[in-house]
Structure 1
Amino acid sequence: MFDVALVLAGAAVASQIRFDYLAQSGFYWALVMFAAAFALAIFPAFGVYESWRGRSKLALAGQVSLAWLIVQGSALVLMYSLHRSDFVSRLWFSYWTAVTGGLLISYRLITHAVLARARGAGMNLHQVAIVGSGSQCDAIIRRIESAPTTGFRAAAVYNTSPQKSPVTSTGVPVFDTVDALADYIRTNDVHELWLMLSLAEEPLICSLVGEFRDDLVNIRFMPDVRSLALFEGSGVIDLLGVPAINLVASPLSANSMLKKEIFDRLFAAAALICLAPLLVAIAIAVKLSSRGPVFFRQKRKGADGRVFTIYKFRSMRLHTEEKGTVRQATRNDPRVTKVGAFLRRTSLDELPQFFNVLRGDMSVVGPRPHALEHDDLYQKVVAGYIHRYRIKPGITGWAQINGFRGETDRIEKMERRVEHDLYYLGHWSFALDMRIIGATIVAGLVHRNAY
C-alpha cells in the first residue's frame, strides 16, 4: 500500500508544480486512483514485490521503471478511450509520471541501501550450511563473501568428496557426517541448507530432507547440471505445475520475454518517430546514389528458426549472385556505393530494422541474424550456432559491441561471435540490454570492421 501513497504523492507534487495548488477535478483523481490500482495489479508480474535479498539495485530500478511506464501507458490509453485527453494537462501528466517514478525507485533504493548496510554490519543475516563437493562449496562461499549485502553468511560445510576435493575456504567448519552437520545446524540457529548436489546423489538428498523434516530450516536444492546444461545457470520453470530444469532451451522465462517484447515495441515506435526525418533523408540519398530500390530485402531466420524478411537501406549497386550463395561484403567492395559505404560504416543502413522490431520479427538487442545460406554453412561447423535462434535476433548485440561484426572470412571469427551470442543468452537481463544499447549509441555506430 505504500506504493499507492507514493502514486498519490507524485500526483499531488505534480499538481503543485503545474498549477500551484493541489485541488483538481474529479477526473484527475479518478485517473490517479486507476493508476494506483493498476500498479498494484501489474507490479507483481514484473517481480517488483519479490524479495530484494541478493538482487542488484540496477535491475530493481529497471523493473520498477518498466512496470510504472506500462501503468502510465495504460492510463493514457484509458484517457483517450474515454475521450478525456483534453481534460488532463499533458504537462501535469508528464510531471506526475516523472515524480512518481522517481519516488518509487528512490524508496526502494534507499530501503535497499539501509538493509545492505545492516547486513554488512552483521544484522538481518541468514546463516547458511552448504552440502557438496569441496570445489562446489568453495565456489558458493566465494559468492557469499563477495556479496555481503545480500544477507547470507556461510556457517557450515558438509564435504561429500573430502579425498578428491577438499574444502580450501578457511573460517567455516567442515563436517564429514550428516549427524554432525545436523547437530551444528540445530545448536547454532542456521536458517538455510543449500544442497549443491548432482542428480545421482538422490539418497543423500532424501536423507538430508528427512533429517530436517521437523525443523524450521529452509532447504534449497541447487542441482549440479553443469555437464548437461547448454547455458550457465539454467533456471527452473513451471510446466503444468511441475518444476523443470532447462537443460537445452531458451534461458529466458516467459515473464522475461514479455518484458523484452513490451520494451522492444515501445523503443522501436519511439525510435521511428524520432528518426523519421533522418530516415527520409537517407531514403532520398540512397535513391539518388544508384539505380534500384531504397530498401534491401532478404530472408533471415528469427526465433525458433522462423523465416522472415529483414529490411535495410540498400548500400550496394544492383547485381546478381549465383543461386544458393551469398557473397559477404569485403573491404573496398566495388558493389558498395559511396552513400552505401557511409551507411555501412555508421550502421545507419540497419535503421529500417526498427520496422522488423515493431512487426515482432526482431528485438532491439539480440544475436544478429545471418543470411540463410550462411546459417546452413555455419551450423554444421560451429558448435552451438543454431542455439542463437532460441530468442529473436537483434539490431545490435553483445558480440557487435565487443568488436565481432562485419565480414567473417575465417571460421574463428564466427566461433567468437557465437560465443558472445550464447553468453548474452545465458546472462540476459534488462540492465544488460540497456548497457548494449548505450554502448551501441555511444561507441558502436562506427567500427573498423563495418564496410
Structure 2
Amino acid sequence: MIRENQKYLNRLQVFLDLMVILISFLIAYYIRFYQMDDGIHALTFQQNLRPILLSMPLYLIFYNIFDIYSTRRTKPLHVELSAIAKTNILCAIFIMVGLFIFKIVDYSRKSLVLFFIINTILTMSSRLVIRLILKKYRRKGYNLKHCLIIGATDSSALFIDKVKKNKHWGYNIVGIITSPFNHHKKFKGHPIIGNTIELEKILSEKAIDIVIIGVSGADLSELRHILQACEKSGVKTQIIPYYHKYIPAKPYMDDLDGLPVIDIRHVPLDNVFKNFFKRSFDIIFALVALIITTPVLLFAAIMTKLSSPGPIIYKQERVGLNRKNFNMYKFRSMRVQTTEEERDKWTTQNDPRKTKWGSFMRKTSIDELPQFFNVLKGDMSVVGPRPERPYFVDQFKETIPRYMIKHQVRPGITGWAQVCGYRGDTSIKKRIEHDLYYIENWTFSFDLKIIILTIFKGFINKNAY
C-alpha cells in the first residue's frame, strides 16, 4: 500500500512540477509585458513560450538526476530545496547556451530571467506545502509505514529513539521480535510480540511494510534465517549494522567481482573525473587570482622587505596529500627565526616575533596569497583542510581521533572549518569535524559556497595572531 501511495504521489508531483513551470511562465510574461511596460510588444506569446516548453523535459531529467522524486519521508528539507535550486540554475544555463548556439533571438531575456526566479520560488513552495500536508496527515495516523523491529539491541533502541523524535516520518512500530531466549515483554515501550523462530508466521499475519533488522554481533547466526523469512514474505527489509557505532562516517559499498566490501569512509574526490575537474578549476582559479591580486602581491612584498631584514617569502614544511611533506609559501610576517623555533612554536596573540606589517597581513590573510603558487604546483587546492606542521601532526594523530583522515585530499588555502570560524587559536577537534564533513560531502557547488563565504567573511580573522 505504501509503495502504491508513493507511486501516485510521484505522478502527482511530476504533474504539479509541469503545472508550476507553466504558471511561472504566465506570471513572468504578465510581469514583463504588463507590469514592466516599456512599449515593446514585438514578441508574441508563442515566441516567449517556446524556450519554456523546450525546458520541460530538461527539468524532469535534472529532477530525476538529483533524486527529487524518491520518497521524501526521511529526506531532509534542505537537500530537496538545494536540488531544486541546482536544477533551475543548470536549466537556465542550458537554455541560454542552447538559444545562443542555435541563434534563436525571438524571446524576451527579461521574461526568461523572471521565469527562472519565479519557478524556483514556486517549486520550493509546492514542496514545502506537500511536506506540511503529509506531516499533518501522518500525525493523524494516515499514510503510516508499519515497522517490525528484529532485535532488542542498542541499534534497535537508537532507531526507536529517532522514530520518536521524527514523528513526521510516519513510522509506526508494530512490535519487536527477539531471540528465542529473551523473556521480556517490552522493549523501549514497545511490545515484544514473538521471537525469530516465529518470524515467518508473524509476517504472514500482520500487515508489515518494512522490517528493521538490528541484531547484535552475537545474533549473526540467525541472520540467514531472518533474511530468508523476510524475502519469502516479500516485505522490504533494512539492516542496521551492529558495528555502526564504530563507523564515524557514511559508509560506501564497493563491489569486488561480486563480493560486497564496505568502505567505511566514502571520499568523492577518489573519483578520477571529480578529482580532475577540481584540479582544473584550481589551476584556472589560482591563475586568475594571481593576476587580479598582482598589485597587492607587489605592495606586500615591498612592505615585507622594508619591515625587517630577511627573505620576502617564508617557506614552512607542512603535511599534505597522502601524508607527504611540502613547503608552503607565505609572506614572511615575523622576524627571521631558528629552525627549532619554527618547528614547534605556536604564534601567540602578543608574539614579539611578529612585525607590525606582519600582524596586519595575518589579520587580513594577505600573507596567504603566495599559496596560490602552491596550488599551481599541485601541493595544495583552493579549498580543502588547512595543512599543519609535521611536529603538530605527530601530536594530534595520537590525541585527536581521525585526525589523519584529512590527508586523503589536498590541503586548501581556505576550507569549511575556516569559514565556520575555526581558524587560528580555536578547537582542533571541531576543526577536524568540519574537515571530515567537507571530505565526505565534497561537491563542486560546496567548493563555490566556501569560496564565496571566504570572500565575504573569511579574510578578516580575529583569531589570527
State the TM-score, normalizing by the size of structure 2.
0.72
1:250 aligns with 2:270: no
Of the three residues 239, 242, 245, the one matched with 1:224 is 242
Q: Alpha-carbon deviation of 1:5? A: 4.0
- Deviation sequence 1:342-378 (CA, Å, 0-9, x none): 34224465578789889995364x5322346654664
Q: 1:180 to 1:253 in 2, by over 3 A?
A: farther
Of the three residues 156, 165, 187, the one matched with 2:205 is 187
Query: Aligned ranges for residues 156-175 of structure 1 at < 5 Å?
Result: 156-160=175-179, 168-170=187-189, 172-175=190-193
Contact 2:333–2:357 (8 Å) recurs in 1 = no
1:386 aligns with 2:400: no
Q: Alpha-carbon deviation of 1:135? A: 2.5
1:59 counterpart residue number: 79
Q: Alpha-carbon deviation of 1:145? A: 0.9
Letter aligned with residue 245 of structure 1: I
- Deviation sequence 1:366-411 (CA, Å, 0-9, x none): 5322346654664466542221133454555564467643258xxx
Percent identity at matched positions?
Answer: 25
Whole-angstrom distance in 1 between the partners of 2:398 and 2:192 = 48
Q: 1:296 to 1:167 in 2, by over 3 A?
A: farther
Whole-angstrom distance in 2 between the partners of 1:4 and 1:356 = 48
Q: Alpha-carbon deviation of 1:232? A: 4.0
* CA-based RMSD: 4.8
Letter aligned with residue 418 of structure 1: I
1:342 aligns with 2:360: yes
Q: Which has the larger radius of gyration?
A: 2
Q: 1:91 to 1:115 in 2, by over 3 A?
A: same
Q: Alpha-carbon deviation of 1:283? A: 4.1
Q: 1:94 to 1:194 in 2, by over 3 A?
A: same
- Deviation sequence 1:123-180 (CA, Å, 0-9, x none): 111011111233222211110111111121211112349779996511x211452244
- Structure 2: unaligned runs, 5 residues or longer: 1-13, 35-40
Of the three residues 91, 94, 106, the one matched with 1:74 is 94
Contact 2:267–2:439 (8 Å) recurs in 1 = yes
1:16 counterpart residue number: 30
2:221 counterpart residue number: 203
1:332 aligns with 2:350: yes
3-state SS, counterpart of residue 212 of structure 1? helix
Q: 1:217 to 1:300 in 2, by over 3 A?
A: same
Contact 1:6–1:104 (8 Å) recurs in 2 = yes
Whole-angstrom distance in 2 between the partners of 1:431 and 1:145 = 34
Aligned residue pairs total 433
Whole-angstrom distance in 2 between the partners of 1:148 and 1:430 = 34
Contact 2:328–2:371 (8 Å) recurs in 1 = yes
Query: Aligned ranges for residues 419-434 of structure 1 at < 5 Å?
Result: 419=433, 421-422=435-436
Contact 2:152–2:178 (8 Å) recurs in 1 = yes
1:93 aligns with 2:106: no
- Structure 1: unaligned runs, 5 residues or longer: none
Q: 1:159 to 1:402 in 2, by over 3 A?
A: farther
2:9 counterpart residue number: none
Q: 1:355 to 1:290 in 2, by over 3 A?
A: closer
Q: Alpha-carbon deviation of 1:57? A: 1.0
Letter aligned with residue 347 of structure 2: A
Whole-angstrom distance in 2 between the partners of 1:389 and 1:77 = 39
Contact 2:145–2:170 (8 Å) recurs in 1 = yes
Q: Alpha-carbon deviation of 1:300? A: 5.6
